[in-house]
Amino acid sequence: MIDDRGSGLVALLDRFRAGDPRAAGEIVGAYEPHLRRIIRLRIRDSRLRRLYDSADICQSVLASFFARLSLGQFDLENPAQLVRLLEAMARNKLATEARRSGVARRVEVGAVAGAADGTGPLDRPVPGPSDTERVAWREMAEVVRDRLSDDERAISDLRAAGCEWADIASRIGGGPDAARKRLERAFDRVARELGWEG
């Protein structure tokens, strides 16, 4: 994984926000194998396993992550925070897909597709994101950005530019927590509007 102290991760996220196409590949290369393993472990219901592959869910989680990262939503200081965030996003996505597909049983840690020792066919190395995926992530970010109000877009743009919440609050008024929560609520609203709740 990336530098445990977090400085490497922060720099990598800043490079992605600045448009460095290699940064997304480095993030995917470092975190996708773990994310796919977690997803496979959480797909317990065989009906859900027949409908979804870990790669499908992983792709959806990464697309949402990169779109929201582009818009400045996340405050990540170290790799452990990113891992927890991706795991939470995967849990939410799986729960949403289970509801949509009518799978009644809860999605939780259980049986996995592939070998129990982690050497199944889905543990093969994965390539970095393609140019098409990077374009899709940027397009998703633009779709979200277009649905934000002018005030919400201003907060998102300041955050994406690397401004701290205290700086944003001083520019728009109110406190840092209020600004952060306002942007989170805006993203959640847009996700609901677009059917991206997971």
3-class secondary structure for 67-90?
Answer: HHHHCCCCCCCCHHHHHHHHHHHH
Instruction: State residue 70's pLDDT score.
Output: 82
Q: How sure is the predictor about 125, in pLDDT bands with cuts at 50, 70 and 90?
A: very low
| Cβ atoms of 59 and 28 closer than 8 Å | no
Task: Provide the residue range defining the domain that includes 68.
Answer: 7-194
Nearest to 128 by CA among 38, 196, 31: 31
Q: How sure is the predictor about 121, in pLDDT bands with cuts at 50, 70 and 90?
A: very low
Residue 2 lies in a domain: no
| Cβ atoms of 13 and 69 closer than 8 Å | yes
- Report the pLDDT averaged over residues 110-139: 50
**CB-neighbour burial class of residue 124 (10 A; exposed 0-12, middle 13-18, buried 19+):** exposed
Lowest mean pLDDT among 7-16, 104-113, 156-165, 184-193: 104-113
Distances from the Cα of 147 to the Cαs of 44, 65, 124, 186, in angstroms?
36, 17, 38, 9
Residue 181 lies in a domain: yes
Flag whether pLDDT at 34 surpasses 70: yes
pTM over 0.75: no
- Cα–Cα distance, 101 to 12 (Å, whole number): 36
Instruction: State residue 54's pLDDT score.
Output: 75
Residue 1 lies in a domain: no
- Report the pLDDT averaged over residues 47-57: 74
**Number of domains comprising the chain:** 1
Packing angle between helix 7-17 and helix 21-42, nearest 10 degrees?
110
